[in-house]
Structure 1
Amino acid sequence: MSNDSPIDEIQFGVSDRGVATVVINRPHVLNAVDPASHDRLNAIWDSIRNDDRVRVVVVTGAGEKAFCVGADMSANAVDKTGLQYWAELDPNGFGGLSLRTDLDVPVIAKVNGYALGGGMEMVLGADIVVAAATAQFGLTEPRVGRLALDGGITMLVRRIPYTQAMSLLLTGRKASAEEMQRAGLVNEVVSPPELDSAVDRWIDQILACAPTSIRAVKQMVSRTSHLTASEARGMRLPSVMAALDSEDSVEGVNAFQQKRQPVWPGR
Structure 2
Amino acid sequence: MTDQQTDAQPDEVRFDIDDRGVASVVIDRPRVLNAVDRATHDRLNEIWAAIEADDRVRLVVVTGGGEKAFCVGADMSADAVDKTGLEYWAELDPNGFGGLSLRTTLDVPVIAKVNGYALGGGMEIVLGADVVVAADRAQFGLTEPRVGRLALDGGIHQLVRRIPYTQAMGLLVTGRKAPADELQRMGLVNEVVPAADLDAAVERWVEQVLACAPTSVRAVKQMVTRTAHLSAHEARAMRLPALMDALDSEDSAEGVAAFQQKRSPVWPGK
Please tell me the TM-score bracket, short chain as reference. Answer: over 0.9
Specify the alignment match of 2:5 in structure 1.
5
Amino acid at match of 1:213: S
Q: Spell out the pairing of 1:131-210 with structure 2 (5 A cutoff).
A: 131-210=134-213
Distance 1:152 1:170 in 2: 12
Whether 1:88 and 2:79 are equivalent positions in the alignment is no
Whichever residue aligns with residue 40 of structure 2, its letter is S
SS in structure 1 at match of 2:80: coil
SS across alignment from 2:81: coil
Distance of 2:214 and 2:243 partners within structure 1 = 12
Q: Deviations over 1:150-182 (max 9, x none)?
A: 011000011111111001100000000000000
**Does 1:45 pair with 2:48?**
yes
Q: Which range moved further: 68-77 or 178-187?
A: 68-77
* Equivalences for residues 1-267 of structure 1 within 5 A: 1-3=1-3, 5=5, 7-267=10-270
> How far is the alpha carbon of 1:79 from its aligned partner?
1.8
* Separation (CA, whole Å) in 2 of partners of 1:77 and 1:134: 29
Which amino acid is 1:128 matched to? V
SS at the partner of 2:82?
coil
Q: Distance in 1 between matches of 2:92 and 2:14?
A: 24
1:130 counterpart SS class? strand
- Secondary structure of the corresponding residue to residue 77 of structure 1: helix
Deviation of the 1:139 alpha carbon? 0.2
* Residues 110-167 of structure 1: CA deviation (Å, up to 9, x unaligned): 0000000000000000000000000000000000100000011000011111111001
How far apart in 2 are the matches of 1:189 and 1:243? 33
Q: Which residue identity is paired with 1:152?
A: G
Q: Distance in 1 between matches of 2:254 and 2:13?
A: 37
CA positional deviation for 1:2? 2.7
Q: CA RMSD in A?
A: 0.8
Q: In structure 2, how many angstroms separate the alpha carbons of the residues matched to 1:219 and 1:77?
A: 33
* Alpha-carbon distance, 1:4 to partner: 5.5
CA distance in 2, matches of 1:41, 1:226: 27
Distance in 1 (alpha carbons) for counterparts of 2:113 and 2:4: 19
- Structure 1 CA distance for aligned equivalents of residues 5 and 265 of structure 2: 33
TM-score by length of 2: 0.98
SS in 1 for 2:158: helix
Contact 1:4 1:11 in 2 (8 A): no
Per-residue CA deviation, residues 72-92 of structure 1 (Å, 9 max, x unaligned), is 010132121110000000000
Report the residue type matching 1:150 in the other structure.
D
* In 2, Cα distance between equivalents of 1:119 and 1:4: 25
Q: TM-score, normalised by structure 1?
A: 0.99
Alignment partners' CA distance in 1, 2:96 and 2:13:
17
Give ranges in structure 2 of 5+ residues lacking alignment: none
C-alpha distance in 2, partners of 1:44/1:76? 22
Q: Secondary structure at the match of 1:64?
A: coil
Q: CA deviation at 1:10?
A: 0.3
Q: Give the letter for the 2:203 counterpart.
A: D
Moved over 4 A (4+): none
